[in-house]
Amino acid sequence: MTRAELDKRPADVATMFDSIADRYDLANDVLSLWQDRLWRRATVRAVEAYSGELVLDLAAGTGTSSESFTGKGARVIACDFSQGMLRVGAERLGGASRRGVTFVAGDALALPFNDETFDAVTVSFGLRNVYDLDQALRELRRVTKVGGRLVICEFNHIPFRPLDKIYTTYLMAALPHVARVITSDSSAYEYLSESIMAWPDQQALAARIQEAGWDRVAWRNLTFGVVALHRGFRTK
């Protein structure tokens, strides 16, 4: 199976996700010990999308989180560049546009949307895989209405060193082996571990979000910092 490397060449990333699409959601649940469901609920609360609003769920994959944003009547565009992930998502929903969610193929680095289209933009476990983080953050801002908001849910780093050491050991030693049992292949999950380790910490990510033009940037840790929720606003 193709796995991506830390240079995150878009073709490799898309091919890797195509190849794990069928077992992606099951693997997430098991590898995170079902914590992913809590993280997704926290993301939905942070996005707080209301009736009449349009939300972009970028790097939406199979749309695992997308439908949850429609709870109060918002409509969601679930955008991703892996045809395999989009296919699994559309099959699960029973169509490419169902229950308030529309799947759209698109690249985070050149989003196929007009300026100021969305009330809220959100990315769960996606930005870490994007070839050019800063360009993706600028694109997200471009398509957000003035007054709109950004919520990023991403694996991060545990500030408390002893706990971080245990977590890092799990990432590098155990996670790929568990993944092999679920998906019959561990290489995509070796990439997952390596990409988490190489990802900027909470403060550094907040600085990058700010540099991309977002205001009032803040974050909070979930599960001791295994995941962090970053938020920002487009104020001009």
Ligand X SMILES: C[S@@+](CC[C@H](N)C(=O)[O-])C[C@H]1O[C@@H](n2cnc3c(N)ncnc32)[C@H](O)[C@@H]1O
Among 56, 74, 88, 130, indicate the residue that binds ligand X (CB under 6 A). Answer: 130
213 interacts with ligand X by CB under 6 A: no
The pairing of strands 118-124 and 54-58 is parallel
Q: Which amino acid is at 215?
A: D
Taking the C-alpha atoms of residue 171 and residue 167, their distance in angstroms, rounded to an integer, is 6
According to the binding rule CB under 6 A, does residue 14 interact with ligand X?
yes
DSSP state of 160: S
What is the total count of residues that contact ligand X (CB under 6 A)?
21
Residue with tokens 């706990």: 163
User: Binding site annotation covers 107?
Assistant: yes
Contact 106, 81 (CB under 8 A): yes
User: Is 164 among the annotated ligand-binding positions?
Assistant: no
CB of 57 vs ligand X, minimal distance in Å: 7
Please select the residue that binds ligand X; options are 32, 68, 124, 183, rule is CB under 6 A: 124
Name the residue nearer to ligand X (CB basis): 136 or 206. 136
Closer residue to ligand X in complex, CB, 54/109: 109
**What number of residues does the chain have?**
236
Has 108 been labeled as part of a binding site?
yes
> Smallest Cα–Cα separation from 144: which of 87, 80, 212?
212
Q: Is 80 a known ligand-binding residue?
A: yes
**Distance separating alpha carbons of residues 4 and 82, to the nearest angstrom:** 13
Binding site for ligand X (CB under 6 A): 10, 13-14, 17, 59-61, 64-65, 80-82, 85, 107-109, 124-126, 129-130
Annotated binding site: 62, 80, 107-108, 124
